[in-house]
């Protein structure tokens, strides 16, 4: 696409278009919204980004993002250190924390195994996970990975490796979502829900 808004603005659009969910068209709209709302949006956003770039670190224990290392969850003595929840990225950790249903600790893999993209275990935080899981205090590892081909491949690989450490491994249940109507669900979800049924 030919540059048409001047090099500074095109550079901004080019960077915005690299964000997830952003194409060239939505990046242009976002750039325009930022430039039109300089004081309310552009300046506070650039300050927040500079602050995040300076302060946010990856926790050397679990791989989560925080301004301190170890992160707030790893440093919290109230969290159950015998429960370890494995997630793909920090976004999944945030989602589980928002739900407020898990009181253990986390391990962020930093991705998923993918034969197609050539991602092997050495590219993820698998070695750290095995070390943490076999450290003695862990009595259950919960694999909270996506219900995709790569997610399930990764879960099976990790379950096999963790079995060698004799740590019980569980996976998140799959089935009918809260508020879900059965006739709106896809066949795969319904089949999983029927197989994973439990006593009422």
Q: Which residues contact Zn ion (rule: CB under 5 A)?
A: 59, 61-62, 64, 70-71, 74
Name the residue with tokens 């590892």: 141
Q: Using the minimum distance from each CB to Zn ion, give the nearer residue, 34 or 84.
A: 84
CA dihedral 38, 43, 45, 50 (to 10 degrees): 150
Cis omega before residue 119 (within 30°)? Answer: no
HSE-up (13 A, CA, CB side) for residue 97: 12
How near is the Cβ of 183 to Zn ion at its closest, in Å?
A: 42
Q: Using the minimum distance from each CB to Zn ion, give the nearer residue, 33 or 72.
A: 72
Q: Using the minimum distance from each CB to Zn ion, give the nearer residue, 13 or 84.
A: 84
How near is the Cβ of 109 to Zn ion at its closest, in Å?
A: 13
Q: Rounded to an integer, what distance in angstroms lies between the CA atom of residue 11 and that of residue 3?
A: 9
Q: Using the minimum distance from each CB to Zn ion, give the nearer residue, 62 or 143.
A: 62
Q: Are residues 143 and 159 in contact, defined by beta-carbon separation less than 8 angstroms?
A: yes
Q: Using the minimum distance from each CB to Zn ion, give the nearer residue, 79 or 156.
A: 79
How near is the Cβ of 64 to Zn ion at its closest, in Å?
A: 5
How near is the Cβ of 134 to Zn ion at its closest, in Å?
A: 18
How near is the Cβ of 65 to Zn ion at its closest, in Å?
A: 9
HSE-up (13 A, CA, CB side) for residue 159: 13
Task: Tell me how long the chain is.
Answer: 200
8-state DSSP, 147:
S
């Amino acid at each position: 696409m030919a540059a048409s808004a001047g090099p500074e603005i095109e550079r901004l659009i080019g960077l915005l278009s690299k964000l997830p969910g952003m194409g060239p068209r939505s990046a242009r709209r976002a750039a325009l919204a930022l430039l039109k709302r300089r004081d309310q949006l552009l300046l506070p956003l650039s300050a927040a980004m500079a602050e995040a770039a300076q302060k946010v670190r990856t926790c050397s224990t679990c791989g989560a993002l925080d301004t301190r290392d170890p992160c707030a969850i790893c440093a919290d003595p109230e969290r159950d250190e015998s429960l370890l929840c494995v997630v793909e990225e920090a976004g999944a950790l945030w989602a589980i924390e928002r739900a407020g249903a898990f009181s253990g600790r986390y391990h962020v893999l930093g991705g998923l195994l993918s034969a197609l993209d050539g991602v092997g275990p050495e590219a993820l935080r698998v070695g750290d996970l095995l070390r943490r899981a076999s450290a003695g205090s862990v009595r259950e590892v919960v694999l909270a990975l996506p219900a995709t081909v790569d997610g399930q491949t990764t879960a099976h690989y990790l379950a096999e490796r963790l079995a060698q450490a004799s740590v019980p491994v569980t996976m998140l249940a799959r089935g009918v979502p809260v508020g879900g109507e059965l006739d709106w669900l896809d066949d795969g979800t319904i089949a999983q829900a029927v197989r994973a049924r439990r006593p009422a």
